[in-house]
Amino acid sequence: MDKNNQTIEGLLEIIEKYNPNKKELEEIKRAYAYAADVHYGVKRLTGEAYISHPLAVAYILTDIKADYSTISAALLHDVLEDSDVTYEELCNEFNSGIADLVDGVTKINKLNFDKNRSGNAEIATQRKILVGLCKDARVIIIKLADRLHNMQTLWVHSEEKQKQKAQETLDILTPIANRLGMSKIKGELEDLCLRYLKPDVYFSIVEELNQSKADRDAAVNYMMGRVSELLNKNGISHEIKGRAKSIYSIYKKLDKGRKFKDIYDLYALRVFVDTEEECYHALGIIHSKYKPLPKRFKDYIAMPKTNMYQSLHTTVFGEDGYLFEIQIRTYEMDEIAERGIASHWAYKENNSDNVSTLMKNTMEQKLQFFRSLIELNNEEVDDEDFVKSVKNDIFDENVYVFTPMGDVIELPRGATPIDFAYKVHSGVGDKMVGAIVNNNIVPLNYELQDNDIVKINTNKNSSGPSYEWLNIVKTNQARNKIRGFFNRIDKEELKKKGEELLLKELRRRKISFHDIFTDEKLPDILEEAKVKSIDELYIALGNNQVTPGAVINTVSNERETKEETILRKKMGASEAISEQAKGDIIVSGIDDIKISVASCCKPVPGDEILGYITKGSGITVHRSICPNVSELEERIIDVKWNNSISKKYPSSLMIRSIKDDNLLLKIISKTSNRNIIVQSINTIDDIDHVVINLTVLVDSLEILNQFMVDCDNLSNVVLVERTLK
């Protein structure tokens, strides 16, 4: 198409063919008028009015049947950057959907992937932008179209600028296009990049192609005719096309040392059929007539590429001894192969909301890169590691390997089985003990190759990754997960160490733990140590960030302890029992006190109980017969069971019996009859007797007594009693 003849009317005409919505067409027209007004009087270096650029970008997007929001945003894409129009104005004038797209494109322009020029603030911004991109792929699609048009008009710039733009495009935008499966636009960009980066190579390939064109066309046309005939004879309706190899892909092959005349897939054709089954059927028919070249067959239908690409590839010996590369795919696969994520526009009604949701879902589910990006963002990874990791993921050359189930896993070149394990699942990585590649045991630093089938051996008792792995792995994802593992382990150890240090100091000063760590004092201690929880306090102690002495001093000069507070309250308390109490045990006159049930005598509802005011940890409830509380009168306080609350309590029993192999079973069956839960059992064998210590959870004394009678009635049982310690 002659770019000079592009007009808004021409644009609308094209769009109308795939989107006849009158209102949306009007909106596109309005966006154009608005942009034309803003850019009025500004000229591009090419001499054209500036508006010709956004218009050309919109034209490019019609090729992928972009929806009206995307087209409108394309027309407006330079408005925020090149004028003082604001985001809010765009929202008011159009809508937030369009304004967001324009804003997104403006932000991508600020993405700077140059490692040497990124400061901390920039890195944080980059992360935000990258995460933002995941929300709406249309932003990147507009950016790609924008860059394509700029590359098409790159001739206007100085050689230096040409090379710089071309390199940037090749480094950043074509890998992104590849990630999105948009191979058509990627191919166009790559060819343009090569033209400016290595003009001599580019033009010599063009020259070679031109010279051999007549011969090649003849050979390809002949072969197409024969293959088509063959498929017709077998009743497969199809289309068949010759396929021009991109200049850039030929350059890559030459660059690897091949000679031009040895690039056999210069002769290439593509067969289109209606269904997946027909793809395989067609393949079988072609192979039965033309011998396939070994190892050149690829089934990307059963195993799609990570950017959703599907097709069957084979290379066969053709009629005249030429090798032909043949790709077989359905029309739908072709749409996805050419346009990737944008293919959704061709298949969906033109409902923008639907399209962006659908694209988002596709990105999350089908595009591995985005899935790992989203996962990575959910992990605790600092901004720098995040951006580095994403850059590696997008821009490094990749290797494709398989799980034993045939799923493709994409990793940067040089990746090891450890990277593979962590990419599959961090649980797999942490429990990994070995790897098997193509049925052979390999060392953990083995460099994965394309098409390797990788099986990870795990052992649930594995103690976890080793520090050595940090030097072996290639991906930041694996490195981060291994570091995360060690952080967790280290924290546990520091916690233990910190707790020990504190207890030691307390012992030295003869202070009880409970005197210091009261509910009232804890907040002061934590605040003084600048930590949020007692676990963090231990870690800080273990790290020597704070000393045990400092922690204790924070509070130890405050004389009134919790026990004193309670004692003081008790003096003035009325004897009336507050029925408002919320807990299972009611303390006379006092609420809001920590109450716990004593573990020595284990009272259960129905037992006569009393409260004992402990040093520092509130009130402990004992059975009134408990020998541990008989003395200190002034520490005793009235308590009673709150009958409106039902809860199970532990009770310990000792059962003495004559030896009986089935005794345990019998006892346990008695517990289930009474809705009693067994918490622990241990058995001590005598010569002819057996003693069972049993702790059960029961609702009340009544049930406990019934259960004791049940046990007592078992033959061989000699004695059943509640234990007091």
Which residues sit at the interface with Mn ion, rule CB under 5 A? 78, 146
Whether 132 and 107 have beta carbons less than 8 Å apart is answered as: yes
Burial bucket for residue 458 (CB in 10 Å: 0-12, 13-18, 19+): middle
| Residue tagged active-site, from 48, 63, 82, 384 | 82
Smallest gap from Cβ 151 to Mn ion, in A, equals 11
Smallest gap from Cβ 57 to Mn ion, in A, equals 6
Smallest gap from Cβ 19 to Mn ion, in A, equals 23
For Mn ion, the closer of residues 57 and 394 by Cβ is 57
HSE (side-chain half, CA atoms, 13 Å) at 328: 33
Burial bucket for residue 344 (CB in 10 Å: 0-12, 13-18, 19+): buried
For Mn ion, the closer of residues 106 and 356 by Cβ is 106
Smallest gap from Cβ 304 to Mn ion, in A, equals 33
82 is catalytic: yes
For Mn ion, the closer of residues 78 and 410 by Cβ is 78
Smallest gap from Cβ 108 to Mn ion, in A, equals 11
For Mn ion, the closer of residues 78 and 190 by Cβ is 78
Reported in sequence order, the residue ranges of 210-252 that DSSP labels E, i.e. its strands, are: 239-242
For Mn ion, the closer of residues 31 and 223 by Cβ is 31
Residue with tokens 């000079």: 4
Using only the alpha carbons of the chain, give its radius of gyration.
38
Q: How far apart are CA 516 and CA 535, in angstroms?
A: 16
For Mn ion, the closer of residues 75 and 704 by Cβ is 75
Smallest gap from Cβ 55 to Mn ion, in A, equals 11
Extract long-range pairs of 286-291: CB within 8 Å, 24+ residues apart.
286/227, 286/230, 286/231, 286/314, 286/316, 286/326, 286/328, 287/314, 287/316, 289/230, 290/316, 290/317, 290/318, 290/324, 291/316, 291/317
81 is catalytic: yes
Q: How far apart are CA 324 and CA 314, in angstroms?
A: 8
User: Which contiguous run of DSSP H or E holds residue 709?
Assistant: helix 701-713
Smallest gap from Cβ 146 to Mn ion, in A, equals 4
Residue 409, strand partner residues: 401
For Mn ion, the closer of residues 81 and 320 by Cβ is 81
* Per-residue tokens: 395: 């821009």
Count the neighbouring beta carbons within 10 Å of the beta carbon of residue 642: 17
Residue with tokens 């049940």: 710
| Residue tagged active-site, from 81, 207, 255, 520 | 81
Shortest Cβ contact with Mn ion: which residue? 146
**Residue 414: what are its φ and ψ, rounded to 5°?**
95, -5
Residue 654, strand partner residues: 693, 721
Burial bucket for residue 166 (CB in 10 Å: 0-12, 13-18, 19+): buried
Residue with tokens 């630093």: 445
For Mn ion, the closer of residues 58 and 539 by Cβ is 58
Smallest gap from Cβ 154 to Mn ion, in A, equals 13
Q: How far apart are CA 33 and CA 441, in angstroms?
A: 66
Residues catalogued as catalytic: 81-82
